[in-house]
């Protein structure tokens, strides 16, 4: 592998890691990028080689140089023991949970988790004999009161999907470890550029690589990174379940990662500008963005994060459904759709499902992903939408 760490001594910056990690030009005729490897069968020359499993990749499902390129970039950024690329963000979440619990165990999941995380826990883990409970995302050290002798995992997502509560990860990690459980963190929003959960005590970090890593809305992928202690379980469950990500997809994830830092900076600045502007709009009751000083978790955000993402929420004044339709149906620049992280801006109404801490906002909640269109065009599109909302309300 290309050695980019020698030279100046000390740790390279994240920008240097993003541009140099995972590359091996000398192994591929000098070409800059690891090419797309497609393959199932790996060949062995002799019986001795076969018995010694002498190839670096034994069989296609074990990975290939293209998937390994992504894995080394992400692992370097997260500071993990090892990382595996998997077919989706949800696959990363389900592998991480299954790596920690078995029948008879208990898992605590934040009430603010991404909905498919809940669906997997309720509809797969529970029928497999795992007890699933939810906790208030702002519980912090109070989590200790919920821990049981059979609690093996605590799942956090910070900030939370749709509602943007920031979680006290060091406090959660301490409670989890005091009780022999692992902390799993979904770090899709901040990326390892702005939050490093393993440094804050987490054991496993998962990403919807589909979002910021890929950055162009054209690939589904996920990553799982773990500490040395947790890695054998993660690696075993991934292999047993047969998850594999193709070289074609891996190539695009690596390509996206190379520009992650400059994209994140642009997303951050644009999202903040629009979030601040929305705070002054009449129809907007609340802007849910952890980097705004009046966000309830802003202190934790400042302590643990070094930047903010592209995605935030707004709560509008209560209105008829027709007003919400008038808002979203005629937008010219923002498009409506699930997912986020691409170059294009999205605006989607969100339905919050809570079982521990009810969501109390009366008006509609919208989730905005700010892409790379002109900021003034985005503001004009939102201003027109707000005007239609006022008229129809």
Task: Pick one of 208, 212, 347, 385: the residue that binds ligand PLP (CB under 6 A).
Answer: 208
Q: Which helix (H) or strand (E) holds 47?
A: helix 47-51
Residue nearer to ligand PLP on the CB measure, 192 or 222 = 222
Residue closer to ligand PLP by CB (options 205, 315) is 205
Q: Of the candidates 18, 21, 106, 114, which one interacts with ligand PLP according to CB under 6 A?
A: 114
Residue 161 Cβ, how far from ligand PLP at the closest point, in Å? 5
Question: Among the candidate windows 48-56, 67-75, 83-91, 298-306, which touches ligand PLP by CB under 6 A?
Answer: 83-91
According to CB under 6 A, which one of 156, 190, 220, 324 is a site residue for ligand PLP? 220
Task: Pick the stretch among 207-215, 268-276, 319-327, 368-376 that binds ligand PLP (CB under 6 A).
Answer: 207-215
Three-state secondary structure call for residue 169: helix
89 binds ligand PLP (CB under 6 A): yes
Question: What 3 state SS string does 135-166 have?
Answer: ECCCCHHHHHHHCCCCEEEEEEECCCCCCCCC
CB of 248 to ligand PLP, least distance (A): 16
CB of 112 vs ligand PLP, minimal distance in Å: 10
* CA nearest to 365, candidates 179, 161, 70, 202: 161
Assess 161 for contact with ligand PLP (CB under 6 A).
yes
Q: Of 192, 159, 193, which Cα lies nearest the Cα of 311? A: 159
Residue 206: CB minimum distance to ligand PLP, A = 7
**Cβ atoms 75, 28 nearer than 8 A:** no
Give the residue from 79, 61, 72, 57 showing the smallest Cα distance to 11.
Answer: 79
Give yes or no for residue 186 binding ligand PLP (CB under 6 A): yes
**Angle, to 10 degrees, between the axis of helix 65-78 and the axis of helix 247-257?**
40
Using CB under 6 A as the binding criterion, the count of chain residues that bind ligand PLP stands at: 14
Whole-angstrom Cα distance, residue 371 to residue 366?
Answer: 16
Residue 336 CB coordination number (10 Å):
12
Question: Helices marked H in 99-243 — which ranges?
Answer: 115-120, 169-178, 191-194, 231-241
Stretch that binds ligand PLP, among 42-50, 51-59, 87-95, 317-325 (CB under 6 A): 87-95
Instruction: Examine residue 88 and tell whether it contacts ligand PLP (CB under 6 A).
Output: yes
The Cα angle at residue 38 between residues 78 and 215, in degrees rounded to 5: 40
**Could you tell me which stretch among 53-61, 163-171, 206-214, 361-369 binds ligand PLP (CB under 6 A)?**
206-214
Our finding on whether 90 is near ligand PLP (CB under 6 A) is yes
312 sits near ligand PLP (criterion: CB under 6 A): no
Give yes or no for residue 163 binding ligand PLP (CB under 6 A).
no
Query: What is the smallest separation between the CB atom of 254 and ligand PLP, expressed in angstroms?
Result: 16
Q: How far apart are CA 120 and CA 113, in angstroms?
A: 11
Smallest gap, in angstroms, from Cβ of residue 245 to ligand PLP?
11
Query: Measured between alpha carbons, how far is 277 from 379 in angstroms, rounded to an integer?
Result: 8
CA distance 321 to 324: 5
Question: For tokens 């699933």, what's the residue?
Answer: 132
Task: Cite the active site residues.
Answer: 61, 114, 186, 211
From candidates 67, 112, 210, 225, binder to ligand PLP by CB under 6 A: 210
- Cβ contact 133:109 at 8 Å: yes
Q: Under the criterion CB under 6 A, does residue 188 sit at the interface with ligand PLP? A: yes
- Asked whether 99 and 130 are in contact (CB, 8 A), the reply is no
Q: Which residues bind ligand PLP (CB under 6 A)?
A: 88-90, 114, 157, 161, 186, 188, 208, 210-211, 220, 222, 339
């Amino acid at each position: 592998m290309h050695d980019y760490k020698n030279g100046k001594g000390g740790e390279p910056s994240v920008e240097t890691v993003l541009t140099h990690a995972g590359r091996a030009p000398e192994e591929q005729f000098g070409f800059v990028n690891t090419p797309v490897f497609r393959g199932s069968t790996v060949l062995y020359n002799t019986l001795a080689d076969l018995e010694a499993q002498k190839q670096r990749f034994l069989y296609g499902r074990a990975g290939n140089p293209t998937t390994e390129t992504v894995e080394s970039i992400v692992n370097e950024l997260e500071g993990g023991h090892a990382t595996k690329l998997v077919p989706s963000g949800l696959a990363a979440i389900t592998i991480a949970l299954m790596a920690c619990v078995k029948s008879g165990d208990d898992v605590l999941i934040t009430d603010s988790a991404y909905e498919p995380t809940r669906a997997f826990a309720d509809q797969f883990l529970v029928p497999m004999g795992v007890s699933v409970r939810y906790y208030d995302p702002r519980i912090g050290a109070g989590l200790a009161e919920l821990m049981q002798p059979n609690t093996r995992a605590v799942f956090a997502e910070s900030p939370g999907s749709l509602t943007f509560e920031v979680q006290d990860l060091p406090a959660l990690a301490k409670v989890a470890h005091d009780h022999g459980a692992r902390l799993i963190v979904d770090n899709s929003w901040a990326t390892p550029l702005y939050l490093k959960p393993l440094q804050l005590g987490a054991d496993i970090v998962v990403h919807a690589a589909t979002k910021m890593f890929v950055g162009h809305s054209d690939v589904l992928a996920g990553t799982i990174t773990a500490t040395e202690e947790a890695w054998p379980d993660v690696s075993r469950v991934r292999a047993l379940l047969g998850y594999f990500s193709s070289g074609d997809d891996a190539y695009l994830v690596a390509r996206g990662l190379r520009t992650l830092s400059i994209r994140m900076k642009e997303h951050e600045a644009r999202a903040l500008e629009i979030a601040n502007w929305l705070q002054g709009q009449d129809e907007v009751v609340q802007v849910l963005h952890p980097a705004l000083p009046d966000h309830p978790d802003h202190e934790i955000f400042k302590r643990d994060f070094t930047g903010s993402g592209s995605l935030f929420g707004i709560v509008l004044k209560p209105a008829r459904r027709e007003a919400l339709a008038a808002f979203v149906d005629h937008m010219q620049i923002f498009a409506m759709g699930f997912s986020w992280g691409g170059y294009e801006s999205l605006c989607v109404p969100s339905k919050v499902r809570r079982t521990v801490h009810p969501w109390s906002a009366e008006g509609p909640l919208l989730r905005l992903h700010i892409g790379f269109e002109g900021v003034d065009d985005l503001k004009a599109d939102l201003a027109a939408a707000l005007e239609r909302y006022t008229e129809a309300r």
